[in-house]
């Protein structure tokens, strides 16, 4: 399953790259890309994966780099 989300208050391109790297380390994630210029995150997960749980974990990663940046669901 592949979904795209807006990232609100994304302010740092370097932080976006770190977020992308860390989220790609999740076992359930087959691919995550974060495009700084459009502030969009596209995430692909394995079939049968609870996407909401993955997004909750991804939000924690995002907050570790930018505390005001949120995934718009």
For the whole model, what pTM was predicted? Answer: 0.95
* Percent of the residues in the chain that have a pLDDT greater than 70, as a whole number: 100
Which 3 state secondary structure label does DSSP give 24? helix
Give just the sign of the alpha carbon dihedral 23, 17, 64, 9: negative
pLDDT tens for 17-69 read: 999 999 999 999 999 999 999 999 999 999 999 999 999 999 999 999 999 99
């Amino acid at each position: 399953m592949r979904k795209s989300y807006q990232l609100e208050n994304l302010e740092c391109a370097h932080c976006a790259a770190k977020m992308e790297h860390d989220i790609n380390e999740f076992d359930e994630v087959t691919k995550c890309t974060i495009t700084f210029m459009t502030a969009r995150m596209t995430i692909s997960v394995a079939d049968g994966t609870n996407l909401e749980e993955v997004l909750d974990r991804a939000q924690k990663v995002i907050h570790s780099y930018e505390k005001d940046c949120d995934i718009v669901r």
